[in-house]
Structure 1
Amino acid sequence: MNDVKDERYQQVQFAAWVGIIGNIILALIKGVIGWLAGSRALVADAVHSASDVVGSVAVLIGVRAAKLPPDEDHPYGHGKAESIAAIIVAVLLFIVGFEIALSAIKSLNEPIEVPGIIAIYAVIFSIVVKELMFRYKYRLGKKYRSEALITDAWHHRSDVFSSIAALIGIGASILGGYIGVPWLVYADPLAGIFVAGLILKMAWGLGKQSIHNALDHVLHDEDTVEMRETALNVDGVLKIDEFLAREHGHYVIIDIKISVDPHITVEEGHAIGKKVKAELVKIEHVQDVRIHINPFSE
């Protein structure tokens, strides 16, 4: 079990570092090329990538905190640290979307220069890299039930949308300058406003889900069939009186009340409870089980 947890921690932590280093490199490339090419859209996209560094750092901190063992103040562990990190990333994503929209609206009333064609290549490179980062982190986040990593993955996907908007805007500006249609340069801010709306919608959905999971969300009955059947199949368990499986970040903690023969000894009832716990923690993602023993009654 510890080997699985260590593997999860190492993989998720590595993915967070990939995000941090990748975003720093992309921000530098897009920032420098955007400045040299005179592309305001590319410079704004570089700022977006730089803001993602903060999100990836939040994920890294959340993953490290979630790995800490239970203590006196946190008897259920620190799994919700990832949910908190996911909320932070969602808030950052919302702020970035708002800033992109605001910048795009302001630029509609300002003169815009035609950028150099090198900006096109920088944006295409960014789109490819960010899409690969999204797919990598999303797949890993689903595999290891890392809410923070999944949210950060969608942060990368928002960068893809942002870069596509920049690509359209830069392309339209270059085309407008080439064929002599000045108003085409304003395709950049218009595309930015549209993408900002998509980013805001994504941030709202991710933040809402993260907050929901952070508030002691209990799994629905259809999601706990295997767990309840496992408990009922233990010799000596006559009935399940209550079963609550609470999501605590990437793992689950079960509170269960079982009925046993009222005529057996306390020691025998305790042994049945230990067996139930031993079987339940074998299930993937179940980290701890709290059991209460009741005397069976019709």
Structure 2
Amino acid sequence: MEDRLAKAQFGAWVGIVGNLALAAAKLTIGLVAESRALIADAAHSASDVVGSVAVLIGLRAAERPPDEDHPYGHGKAESIAAIIVAVLLVVVGFEIGYKSIQSMLVPVAAPGMLAIWAAVLSMAVKEWMYRYKYNLGKKLNSQSLIANALEHRSDVFSSFAALVGIGGAVLGEYLGVGWMVYLDPVAGVFVSLLVLKMAYKILKESIHNTLDHVLHSEETVPMVQTVEAVPGVIRIDDLRAREHGHYVIVDVKVSVDPQITVEQGHTIGKQVKQELMNRFERVRDVFVHINPYDSVFPFSSGTADHEERDVIH
């Protein structure tokens, strides 16, 4: 757990430091070269800094142990951090679009060549950051890191849009085609649309995972097989694996011989829990309900419980 947190936090710090440097460089060059598209891209990178800070806080909160108010742990803190990232992107997206449209209503000049090189450098750095964080997020099963990585990928696209707009504006001034100088603010509008699209994608996925998402039946097949192999388990009446951020909480109901003692049933339940937690790294806790086996009236996930002999926490 501590190793996972250390790696995830390092990834978040990479984003914070990298985005601070990029935002400062693009803003400075954008102002000097008078490029609306590059300034918009700098604002996007600045929002990524706030997003990375939110991810860092979420990662630390998610690893806090369960307490009286949060018996299932704090794993959903990562999903909340991802939602914060998405909301920040929405605000920045609208701001970029608004300022870019405003700049179209007044005479503009083509930006300087320095802005082109800044956009190219930004694309290269952001693509590296995306690949690093996305792979790390997948490895650590961290939704907030993956969301942060997608932020970096949207920055790659926005820098490319800025590059096209800046290059078109510079070319237009060189060829004497007046309308082409407006390609720079047009690129700024396109950047804002990319940011809003990415924000929607992150927000949709984060809300879905926050609302007690359970693993699909095909994903729980190995868990079912593990429980079925435990001596004394006659039948699995129900098994639900709920995602809490990067880890899973399992609720399982099993039928055992109704003639055995309560202590024997309790022992079977403890073994079910141990097997699931030992075999599956993502399983943080298991709640086992022991039911008396009834071949005439089998249990199902959609029916009310009959008498339960024991509950293993």
Specify the TM-score bucket, using the shorter chain as the normaliser.
Answer: over 0.9
Check whether the contact 1:165–1:188 (CA below 8 A) recurs between aligned residues: no
Question: Alignment partner of 1:77: what SS?
Answer: coil
Question: What's the TM-score, normalizing by structure 2?
Answer: 0.91
Partner of 2:85: 89
Partner of 1:294: 291
Q: In structure 2, what is the Cα distance between the partners aligned to 1:238 and 1:87?
A: 43
The two structures, once aligned, show a CA RMSD in angstroms of 1.1
How far apart are 1:210 and its partner, in Å? 0.5
Check whether the contact 2:37–2:187 (CA below 8 A) recurs between aligned residues: no
Partner of 1:203: 199
How far apart are 1:194 and its partner, in Å? 2.6
Letter in 2 for 1:176: G
Partner of 1:53: 49
Partner of 1:188: 184
Question: Alignment partner of 1:244: what SS?
Answer: strand
Letter in 1 for 2:171: L
1:285 aligns with 2:247: no
What do residues 27-80 of structure 1 show as CA deviations (whole Å, max 9, x unaligned)?
A: 111111222222222222112211111100000000000010111111100000
Q: In structure 1, what is the Cα distance between the partners aligned to 2:186 and 2:38?
A: 14
Check whether the contact 2:162–2:191 (CA below 8 A) recurs between aligned residues: no
Check whether the contact 2:249–2:283 (CA below 8 A) recurs between aligned residues: yes
1:157 aligns with 2:153: yes
Partner of 2:104: 108
Partner of 2:305: none
Question: Which of 130, 152, 170 is matched with 1:134 structurally?
Answer: 130
Q: In structure 2, what is the Cα distance between the partners aligned to 1:98 and 1:161?
A: 17
Percent of aligned pairs with the same residue?
Answer: 63
Q: In structure 2, what is the Cα distance between the partners aligned to 1:32 and 1:105?
A: 21
Question: Alignment partner of 2:111: what SS?
Answer: coil
Question: Which of 252, 269, 276 is matched with 1:273 structurally?
Answer: 269
Check whether the contact 1:83–1:211 (CA below 8 A) recurs between aligned residues: yes
Question: Which of 6, 11, 21 is matched with 2:7 structurally?
Answer: 11
Partner of 1:168: 164
Letter in 2 for 1:69: P
Unaligned runs of 5+ in 2: 296-313
Question: Which of 248, 255, 267 is matched with 1:252 structurally?
Answer: 248
How far apart are 1:166 and its partner, in Å? 1.2
How far apart are 1:195 and its partner, in Å? 3.1
Unaligned runs of 5+ in 1: none
Q: In structure 1, what is the Cα distance between the partners aligned to 2:34 and 2:198?
A: 30
How far apart are 1:96 and its partner, in Å? 1.6
How far apart are 1:151 and its partner, in Å? 0.7
Partner of 2:142: 146
Check whether the contact 2:63–2:74 (CA below 8 A) recurs between aligned residues: yes
Partner of 2:309: none
Letter in 2 for 1:120: I
How far apart are 1:116 and its partner, in Å? 1.4
Moved more, 201-210 or 223-232: 201-210
How far apart are 1:262 and its partner, in Å? 1.1
| Aligned length, in residue pairs | 294
